[in-house]
Structure 1
Amino acid sequence: MDSRLQMDRSKHFNMADYVLRAGRATPDKLALEVVGVEPNSLTFAELERSIRGVATGLLDQGIVPGDRVLLRLSNTPLFPICYLAAISVGLVPVPTSPQLVQAEVEKIASVIAPALTVASRNLPVSDGPVLLASDIEAMQARPAAKFDFGDPERPAYIVFTSGTGGIPRAVVHAHRAVLARQMMFDGWYGLRPDDRLLHAGAFNWTYTMGTGLIDPWTIGATSLIPACDTGSDMLPRLLAQHSATIFAAAPGVYRKMLKSDFPATPCLRHGLSAGEKLPDITREDWLARTGTAIYEAYGMSECSTFISGSPARPAPVGTLGYPQPGRKVKLDGDGTIAIHRTDPGLMLGYLDGSAATAARFNDEWFLTGDIGAMTPDGAVRYEGRSDDLMNAGGLRVSPVEVENALHLCSPAQEWACAAVQVKPDVSVIAAFYSGADMIDEEALRGDLSAQLAAYKIPRVFVPVQSLPRGANNKLLRRQLRTAWEATHGKT
């Protein structure tokens, strides 16, 4: 970490103020453009005015610094505005997906005990005070609230894990978490103040919030976000029309885009990918179509992305890339990826879960639960979650390795692999797929034999309507395994 970050961590600090600082030097520059069928924009001056006006409106509800605010907002610019407004005055926002059903919202509310819920009309909410999005819109013109400065170690926001490790948990992050994000500027993004970064995700997705909004604003760059209901087939045209210099999306979006026609995108320098492992075939197809690379990153709800490839240091083939400059990363004894507890992007802990927090540490190292392997020059290869690793005849097999081979041999489908128990003492590798076409299993096994050792080739192929994913778009392989075993039984 450089001296500037150390200085900021030692002073009274506010994450929202930090995000807005660079924009004050260029108040008339566009901070945000909503592109597509519903064009809309905000300059940096208008963005800060809206955030601080809404902050005043939130405090007028009688809540005080430290209180939690549950965000139940649809895909709208009000989402990041409310998020930063809450942080600016010491409130603790809890962003959630609008896709959650009533029971899920009530479960979250029982954990975080929100003092206020901010909600779009018709979205499920829990009991307690509710402020509607229509009321928030009017608050943007209110007098600016003062920033609540304080210890950078105090809570700033809460996010919920995707549930890939079992039960979703409330993760508490500090104000200083934004300082760790600067390590991504060179270590992943190649981000510059003159960039126009188009993120394909919705406003209310944490990947969009960080990579698509907060990080460009922190450096004074412009964020481009597609309007509601913008299809993947429209994104190539939007990249060209709005002179996007960097594009960010989940791997599945890249895959869908590659089915569309591409206009020339002369301003585009490269793409960014996170959320799940990017198949090599998708990366290669994108390069062939656009002439630009995709740089991938690894992170999790508990810690912002900290391993990645970048324009300055591309990832070797088959790896995620390198620990970003300033990050202290190692592989624990069994290959578990671990990051040191002093990392500024690491969570404060799980809400009301000191035992659960302590269980994730081995001495001074936070254990991610993901397995990796390190190359001689320090690049990290991702091999899946520790509980996703498959066993074939006593040999460990990474689901990611098998999925990459399947994507190469049958790119029309989406693939996920898991070990399923066919008898009490026998497990085999199953490949689950969704797509328009049924596969020829015998022909596919023949193609795979050129890519994988025989023991790694799936024994079972299972068509599914769609692959289950968590709130952070990560594959939930455990759900596939559980559903298959519940249907087929173990005899």
Structure 2
Amino acid sequence: MLSIFDQGPPAPCPDPFNLTAHVLRHAQDQPDKIALSLVGPTGAENWSYSDLEAAVRGTGTGLLNAGLAAGDIILMRLGNTVEFPIAYLGAIAAGLVPVPTSSQLTESETAKIIADLSPAAVLRDPQVACADHANQIDIKTLDSMRALPACAYDLGDPDRLAYIVYTSGTSGKPRAVAHAHRAIWARQMMVDGWYGLRNTDRLLHAGAFNWTYTLGTGLMDPWTIGATALIPQPGTDPSTLGWLLARHKATIFAAAPGVYRKILQSDDAMELPDLRHGLCAGEKLSPLLHKTWKDRSGTDLFEAFGMSECSTFVSSCPDHPARGEALGRPQVGRRVAIVGPDGPVPQGTEGTIAIHRSDPGLMLGYLNAPKDTKARFQGDWFLTGDQGAMAVDGQITYLGRADDMMNAGGYRVSPVEVETALTAHPGITQVGAAAVEVKPDTYIIAAFYTGPKELTAQDLQSFASDRLARYKQPRAYIYMDALPTGANNKLLRRALPAYFKG
């Protein structure tokens, strides 16, 4: 049997359609319910569904009154505040095309984006770096728009452009990923296939407002089904999130693995009577971290795999937990395969994780880059660039990015496999594996790790030899105070070789 998961397509997206109208549809039947709660140690700032919709649609009106027209691209240079999702959804409600970007980008990086997109306007917090642009709308002006009359929802073809996000991809060069309004419709497959989300849930997401993971999983998806979204107030110490979960009666928690790790560094007892389970994405969840969380919190974690081009489409969930070291299985409604040079490979064979071009969550393409878009397809399959293997039940084991794969002595080795084996060591907190050059054209596998104290190479080699084939075992072990991570606490494997000193 070939490595193809296909249990039929999802229901078609309605036509005409508007992404924001779909997200805020429950403002009509539950106007007084809390949609958003900004939680902190002393209380919460609450937004009802009716207040949220009024602010969003008022902002849509304000943007149109500012001379913008449907189809115009708007660059978002806003901080970790509620203005971010309100402006984002307000723009889409009015038919504009927002481009959410990280507040950590430098002025020179934003100059390249402005040159690439030619946006009609920039929504700007003066505290956030941004290159010059002739039409900047400041945060004070944005806030004043909330009180304006509601804009009409710009309904139209669900395949039309709705928003753009930037991804570095495998090349390291940022690319503009164009998404259609239908992308939000596709996210309904995640409600059962990953979240196990109900309209009675209170989902706390640990990320910042201006992170797309937060924007989707933490805000829009709960609102789409009428649940309550909880977001920590800016500046919240990650180590206090366990207390916030209990204090504000969160039933689901979503975060990157690094956040779970920081919470577990505290010795405080974890009393979470309302929490049903946690959600994890952004990097591979280690078995040890998973077990430690379950032991300490009494709740399970469900992991997901996705990318900017298609959000998450492989996941575990309460109804279908991951088996062994697998990620989970494709969500029902997705058509996913493991492909090799000649197409889908036999079950159990390593290949590239791919999703069918018919998926409603798949991007429209890379903006102004048709050749780059075409290069990502093999026939009808969009190639993610990540390696995996599919079992007979559809469960997929993640084997790392194709460009992360290590080659030592002629053997290709997944860093994830090495990291998973070593993380089981009781003296290791976190580990990253990478191939390092020890002399010209000669590479070995090195393991970079953190823990309470440095371990002996003999101890680590003995531990690895019981769990990994000889060619997969690291030849060097480097103890570090902390591993290099990105803004979202995701391990930067490409940065590891620079820490190897011979």
What's 2:344 paired with? Answer: none
Alignment of 1:83-482 (within 5 A): 83-128=88-133, 129-260=135-266, 261-333=268-340, 335-409=351-425, 412-434=428-450, 437-463=453-479, 466-470=482-486, 474-481=490-497
For residues 172 and 182 of structure 1, the distance between their equivalents in structure 2, rounded to whole angstroms, comes to 19
Tell me the amino acid that sits aligned with residue 189 of structure 2: M
SS across alignment from 1:27: coil
1:135–1:255 Cα change, 3 Å = same
What's 1:15 paired with? Answer: 19
What's 1:35 paired with? Answer: 39
Tell me the amino acid that sits aligned with residue 91 of structure 2: A
For residues 91 and 441 of structure 1, the distance between their equivalents in structure 2, rounded to whole angstroms, comes to 57
Tell me the amino acid that sits aligned with residue 16 of structure 1: T
What's 1:24 paired with? Answer: 28
Task: Give the C-alpha shift of residue 291 in structure 1.
Answer: 1.4
For residues 12 and 474 of structure 1, the distance between their equivalents in structure 2, rounded to whole angstroms, comes to 38
TM-score norm. by structure 1 comes to 0.94
SS across alignment from 1:403: helix
1:455–1:183 Cα change, 3 Å = same
1:468–1:355 Cα change, 3 Å = farther
* 1:214-271 Cα distance to aligned partner (Å, 9 max, x none): 0000000000000111112211111111111110000001111112213421111110
Segment of structure 1 superposing worse, 197-206 or 443-452: 443-452
* 1:15-52 Cα distance to aligned partner (Å, 9 max, x none): 00010012321000000000114621100000000001
Matched, 1:47 2:86: no
Task: Give the C-alpha shift of residue 88 in structure 1.
Answer: 0.6
Segment of structure 1 superposing worse, 119-128 or 381-390: 119-128
1:168–1:411 Cα change, 3 Å = farther
1:395–1:93 Cα change, 3 Å = same
Task: Give the C-alpha shift of residue 70 in structure 1.
Answer: 1.0
Task: Give the C-alpha shift of residue 475 in structure 1.
Answer: 3.2
* 1:46-81 Cα distance to aligned partner (Å, 9 max, x none): 000000111111112211111111111111111111
1:297–1:108 Cα change, 3 Å = same
For residues 162 and 7 of structure 1, the distance between their equivalents in structure 2, rounded to whole angstroms, comes to 29
Task: Give the C-alpha shift of residue 13 in structure 1.
Answer: 0.8
For residues 407 and 262 of structure 1, the distance between their equivalents in structure 2, rounded to whole angstroms, comes to 23
Tell me the amino acid that sits aligned with residue 272 of structure 1: L
1:35–1:321 Cα change, 3 Å = same
Contact 2:256–2:490 under 8 Å retained in 1:
no
Tell me the amino acid that sits aligned with residue 270 of structure 1: H
What's 1:68 paired with? Answer: 73
For residues 200 and 428 of structure 2, the distance between their equivalents in structure 1, rounded to whole angstroms, comes to 37
For residues 441 and 460 of structure 1, the distance between their equivalents in structure 2, rounded to whole angstroms, comes to 8
For residues 222 and 461 of structure 1, the distance between their equivalents in structure 2, rounded to whole angstroms, comes to 45
Name structure 2 gaps, 5 residues minimum: 1-6, 342-350
For residues 349 and 166 of structure 1, the distance between their equivalents in structure 2, rounded to whole angstroms, comes to 17
Tell me the amino acid that sits aligned with residue 33 of structure 1: S
For residues 292 and 9 of structure 2, the distance between their equivalents in structure 1, rounded to whole angstroms, comes to 41
Task: Give the C-alpha shift of residue 476 in structure 1.
Answer: 3.1
Contact 1:71–1:94 under 8 Å retained in 2:
yes
Tell me the amino acid that sits aligned with residue 30 of structure 1: I
Tell me the amino acid that sits aligned with residue 245 of structure 2: L
* 1:147-203 Cα distance to aligned partner (Å, 9 max, x none): 111111111111111444421211000000001100001000001100000111111
Tell me the amino acid that sits aligned with residue 294 of structure 2: L
SS across alignment from 1:6: coil
Contact 1:180–1:304 under 8 Å retained in 2:
no
Contact 2:280–2:301 under 8 Å retained in 1:
yes
Tell me the amino acid that sits aligned with residue 178 of structure 2: V
For residues 483 and 367 of structure 2, the distance between their equivalents in structure 1, rounded to whole angstroms, comes to 30
Contact 1:23–1:217 under 8 Å retained in 2:
no
For residues 164 and 472 of structure 1, the distance between their equivalents in structure 2, rounded to whole angstroms, comes to 18
For residues 126 and 52 of structure 1, the distance between their equivalents in structure 2, rounded to whole angstroms, comes to 28
Task: Give the C-alpha shift of residue 100 in structure 1.
Answer: 1.1
Segment of structure 1 superposing worse, 363-372 or 405-414: 405-414
Task: Give the C-alpha shift of residue 472 in structure 1.
Answer: 5.9
Number of matched residues? Answer: 484
For residues 378 and 3 of structure 1, the distance between their equivalents in structure 2, rounded to whole angstroms, comes to 16
Tell me the amino acid that sits aligned with residue 295 of structure 1: F
Tell me the amino acid that sits aligned with residue 347 of structure 1: M
SS across alignment from 2:186: helix
Determine which of 73, 80, 83 is the counterpart of 1:78: 83
For residues 492 and 383 of structure 2, the distance between their equivalents in structure 1, rounded to whole angstroms, comes to 19
Query: Cα RMSD between the aligned structures?
Result: 1.9
Tell me the amino acid that sits aligned with residue 184 of structure 2: V
For residues 474 and 457 of structure 1, the distance between their equivalents in structure 2, rounded to whole angstroms, comes to 23
Segment of structure 1 superposing worse, 24-33 or 161-170: 161-170
1:399–1:237 Cα change, 3 Å = same
